[in-house]
Amino acid sequence: MRVASIVGARPNFVKLAPLSKELRRHCEEIIIHTGQHYDYALDRIFFSELGIPEPDYHLHVGSGTHGYQTGEMLKRIEETLISAPPDLVLVFGDTNTTLAGALAAAKLRIPLAHVESGLRSFDRRMPEEINRILVDHCSDLLFCPTETAVRHLAREGITEGVHLTGDVMVDVLRGSVHLAIGKSRILEEQHLAARGYYLATVHRAENTDNIENLNNIVAAFCEIGDVVFLCHPRTERRLKEYGLWDRLNACITVLPPAGFFDMICLERNAKMILTDSGGVQKEAYIFKVPCITLRDSTEWSETLEEGWNVLAGADRDAIISLAEGFQPDEGSHTELFGRGDASARIVEIIRSTFGD
């Protein structure tokens, strides 16, 4: 059996890592990289740290408007799937790469499996929400990380091919923590003490492309002070454009995006995480670090219900007061995302559905 895994952006690579390992024990896998992310810090470093095999096809699509990017990817993925037809296409998460891969497979009538299916933020202004809904509605196998995700699909009439597998992020984190501790020097390099800093990431369009939101977030970070901010290239560009870059650098530590090992060490040792990323909210929960989400909605609603995550939007005062006073209850943590066997379960389901 030949499986084509389609990836292109940082969160896709991380989810591919444990699955690729498991898939290659039983099937032939080809990796198609769309080229959505191309900076070393968002792309190559994940392949080398996580030992992901080199992509068999690199489509070099790069950046652009959502329509351009998704359209170019769709065209090039279709050509690739026609030239090397797989028995199953595997897509991950909710990026434009995920949508393009899913559409290409569905139009060619190649069976499609979606890893991290059923997530909903119920905010259709987010490009990722549109991507998730569309991908789920054309998938044949839907691998859900949580029971909430299964319920979301049922509410939209999707019950066939749905499997509760746990989250592959637990697999990859479990497999990487010891390596990360051994290899990362980021805490020493940045003179950071465990629980002595807040870790922040911001890259969502709703924050980066809105001067008022970005201004409020910068003001909150400056007031909090002990913030290590990992800055995505699009955010850096906007901060410079809006004249906020120098002010931010004067009051907190601004670093380029971290590789996976450095990220793990930074997350595990932070006293709190402030982020608008989906994956980082989940990593905070898995590492039992309180998280303030810089958005008005989240697709990881269970983390709110258990009290480990809280929504602050881009509200300066809310961010500051939560950073001072937010304290989850240790006893409320229930390992929402499974125990680290999601990849094995996913591959087992693929094999039993399609044969070896």
Q: Which residues bind ligand UD1 (CB under 6 A)?
A: 9-11, 36-39, 42, 63, 94-96, 127-128, 203, 232-234, 277
In this structure, the number of other CB atoms found within 10 A of the CB of residue 157 comes to 8
Nearer to ligand UD1, 63 or 159 (CB): 63
Strands 253-255 and 309-311: unpaired
Nearer to ligand UD1, 67 or 355 (CB): 67
Least distance (Å) from ligand UD1 to the CB of residue 11?
Answer: 5
Burial of 320 (0-12, 13-18, 19+ CB in 10 A): middle
Least distance (Å) from ligand UD1 to the CB of residue 186?
Answer: 19
Nearer to ligand UD1, 33 or 37 (CB): 37
Q: Token digits for 319?
A: 């961010």
Q: Find out whether 41 and 259 touch, Cβ atoms under 8 Å.
A: yes
Burial of 354 (0-12, 13-18, 19+ CB in 10 A): middle
Which residue bears the tokens 């007061």? 321
CA distances, 147 to each of 121, 144, 277, 291, 309 (Å) = 15, 7, 21, 21, 18
Catalytic residue among 37, 203, 232, 333: 203
Least distance (Å) from ligand UD1 to the CB of residue 42?
Answer: 4
Q: Find out whether 139 and 102 touch, Cβ atoms under 8 Å.
A: yes
Nearer to ligand UD1, 15 or 163 (CB): 15
Does 203 participate in catalysis according to the annotation? yes
Point out the residues that are catalytic: 203
